[in-house]
Amino acid sequence: MKTSNYLIIGSGVAGLSLAIKLSEKFPDRNITLVTKSNEEESNTKYAQGGIAVVTNFFKDSFEKHIEDTLICGGGLCDKEVVDMVVKNAPERLNELIQWGAAFDRNTQGNLHLGKEGGHSAHRIVHHKDQTGKEIEQAILAQAKRKENICVLEYHFALDLIVRNNRCYGAYVLNEKTEDIQPFVSDFTILATGGIGQVYGHTTNPPVATGDGIAMGSRAGAFIRDMEFIQFHPTTLYENGITAAFLISEAVRGFGACLQTKSGERFMLKYDARGDLAPRDIVSQSIDMELKKSGEPCVFMDCTHLDIKTFKHHFPMIYERCKSVGIDAAKDKIPVVPAQHYVCGGISVNINGETSVKHLFACGECSRTGLHGANRLASNSLLEALVYSHRIYNYLAAARSHQTKFPKNLSAYKINTQHISSDFILKQKKELQALMLRYAGIVRNDDELHHAKKNVVRLQKELEHIAQTHNITKEFFELKNMTETARLIIEHSLQRKNSAGTFVKQACLIQ
């Protein structure tokens, strides 16, 4: 058994920023941060566009950022949360800068601000097209300097330890030794990120398997809004490749436009904001164009842009396209929508508390009320930073506990039978195909019911296997993806039954 004051699960921007703050405030307390895979791997690391922060008060205002967020969320945002997050943004940005993250500046030394879909002003603070990598490296380095933070990579949290609706930590699998141990703590924080692998065709890395949401759900935490899956409209189309490389919305903010194969600009047909309409609208419009034409992709045209400046702002995107034979200076970039973000998740209050006592959640795995039905671009890194700060403030004021941990903590019986990795892979691919086909950008009742039947069947099969087989990370990821899929489908069906037209628009349930 390992004991700490704070157990944080996940080493993206949410988990690491919280760990740093707790460590500075309480040098005499210990913080254990477990993370599966290597410590850097996370959605955070791949963020491109940047962080939405009002910094230029001559041309922009908090009111405008609030308004843009509310409009994009389709009437379903929590206004109090939006107000709080937007107004907190400048402080959180300054903190990141103090921790060593560098953001692009113009020749006068002011922050260079990008623009993305749904934003009425230039307000995206960024580090070229690799903002996430810059942030992840800076905060990871900070966290590793702190003596009272113990970062354990390749440690996979399996399940939360909960008794009488109170969380006491989590069971953790050491991926290298295959040892499972209870990690007990006074406070546990889920910062486990996204769910992209449930769909397979996603911008998210392989670690995004919905573990935190599934663990929370199994522990009885309230989960909300899982139907609001955000599909990014523009990922590089590569025949047969599921890992979708993102072509940042900032590229359209820089002047690129979407076209059909025959060169027709189509976005104005669907929305007066054209290529910079909010993401759900652009993805749905592309989906309709593709269904009409039968083509596999649409195109992003950058050929009219100043290519020198383009390369300066988007070096990674330029090089990645080049590596597959597309020169953005001359060729149009083939793009398709792909799963990108989950707006729903573990429901938390304004302090990041879940409905389970002593259990908190922040970042992409949480549902705060900021995003409503559709997240405004670049509001996600911001949300993670603001809510890790809210949790920190709450915990800083909370009484220090002498927790009496529950006695009987052995939860996993060790079986000897091995689960074949071919079986896991086959089931995973089937689940991903099912979700893409029946619970994707456009959904309807019949298809959702079909998907639900299959997902429930798979869940039962996995439960049965778990009785006799050895626990592996891959098995648990599949189990978590299946639970996440079930939540997405069930919430979609519930929304369909109770929603007004706005909501239908936001997740396009026909």
- Nearest distance from residue 378's CB to ligand SIN, in Å? 4
Under rule CB under 6 A, residue 380 binds ligand SIN = yes
Under rule CB under 6 A, residue 49 binds ligand SIN = yes
* Binding-site string for ligand SIN from residue 240 to residue 269, where x marks contact by CB under 6 A and - marks none: ------x-xxx-------------------
Alpha helices in 363-412 (DSSP H): 380-397
Nearer to ligand FAD, 36 or 452 (CB): 36
Nearer to ligand FAD, 9 or 506 (CB): 9
Q: What does the alpha-carbon distance between residue 163 and residue 7 come to, in Å, rounded to a whole number? A: 17
- Look at residue 249 and give the partner it binds from ligand SIN, ligand FAD, none, a contact being a CB closer than 5 to 8 Å depending on partner kind: ligand SIN
Catalytic residue selected from 123, 279, 390, 443? 279
Q: Which stretch binds ligand SIN (CB under 6 A): 377-385, 388-396, 490-498, 500-508?
A: 377-385
Under rule CB under 6 A, residue 377 binds ligand SIN = yes
Instruction: Retrieve residue 262's tokens.
Output: 């025959």
The residue among 408, 458, 469, 400 whose CA lies nearest residue 428 is 458
Q: What does the alpha-carbon distance between residue 247 and residue 129 come to, in Å, rounded to a whole number? A: 9
Q: DSSP code of 145? A: H
The residue among 28, 79, 126 whose CA lies nearest residue 378 is 126
- Nearest distance from residue 72's CB to ligand FAD, in Å? 13
Instruction: Retrieve residue 239's tokens.
Output: 């025949």
| Exposed / middle / buried, residue 498 (Cβ in 10 Å: 0-12, 13-18, 19+) | exposed
The residue among 49, 44, 63 whose CA lies nearest residue 112 is 49
Which amino acid makes up residue 315?
P
- Nearest distance from residue 114's CB to ligand SIN, in Å? 9
- Nearest distance from residue 293's CB to ligand SIN, in Å? 24
Strands 366-367 and 155-163 come out as unpaired
For 417-429, the DSSP string reads: BPPPHHHHHHHHH
- Nearest distance from residue 49's CB to ligand SIN, in Å? 3
**Is 279 an active-site residue?**
yes
Under rule CB under 6 A, residue 9 binds ligand FAD = yes
Tell me if 373 sits within 8 A of 359, measured CB to CB.
no
Q: Which stretch binds ligand FAD (CB under 6 A): 93-101, 199-207, 397-405, 422-430?
A: 199-207
- Nearest distance from residue 284's CB to ligand SIN, in Å? 17
Nearer to ligand FAD, 51 or 321 (CB): 51
Residue 200: helix, strand or coil by DSSP? coil
- Look at residue 207 and give the partner it binds from ligand SIN, ligand FAD, none, a contact being a CB closer than 5 to 8 Å depending on partner kind: ligand FAD
Residue matched to tokens 């019949």? 446
* Binding-site string for ligand FAD from residue 230 to residue 249, where x marks contact by CB under 6 A and - marks none: ----------------x---
Angle between helices 79-98 and 380-397 (to 10 degrees): 90
Nearer to ligand SIN, 43 or 209 (CB): 43
The residue among 426, 429, 428, 437 whose CA lies nearest residue 479 is 428
Nearer to ligand SIN, 49 or 193 (CB): 49
Q: Which stretch binds ligand SIN (CB under 6 A): 78-86, 146-154, 374-382, 501-509?
A: 374-382
Give the chain's largest Cα–Cα span: 68
Nearer to ligand FAD, 479 or 495 (CB): 479
Q: Which stretch binds ligand FAD (CB under 6 A): 32-40, 63-71, 105-113, 280-288?
A: 32-40
Residue 341: helix, strand or coil by DSSP? strand
Q: What does the alpha-carbon distance between residue 298 and residue 413 come to, in Å, rounded to a whole number? A: 51
Q: Which residues pair with 366 in a beta bridge?
A: 346
Q: DSSP code of 413? A: P
Q: Quick one: which of 6, 31, 36, 199 contacts ligand FAD (CB under 6 A)?
A: 36
In this structure, how many other beta carbons lie within 10 angstroms of the beta carbon of residue 80? 10
**Which 43-62 residues touch ligand FAD, going by CB under 6 A?**
43-44, 46-51
* Binding-site string for ligand FAD from residue 334 to residue 363, where x marks contact by CB under 6 A and - marks none: -------x---------------------x
Tell me if 311 sits within 8 A of 318, measured CB to CB.
yes
Q: Quick one: which of 17, 43, 378, 427 contacts ligand SIN (CB under 6 A)?
A: 378
Which amino acid makes up residue 337?
P
Q: Which residues are tagged catalytic?
A: 279
Q: Which residues bind ligand FAD (CB under 6 A)?
A: 9-15, 34-37, 41-44, 46-51, 131-132, 156-157, 191-194, 203-204, 207, 211-212, 246, 341, 363-364, 378-381, 384
Q: Which residues bind ligand SIN (CB under 6 A)?
A: 48-49, 246, 248-250, 377-378, 380
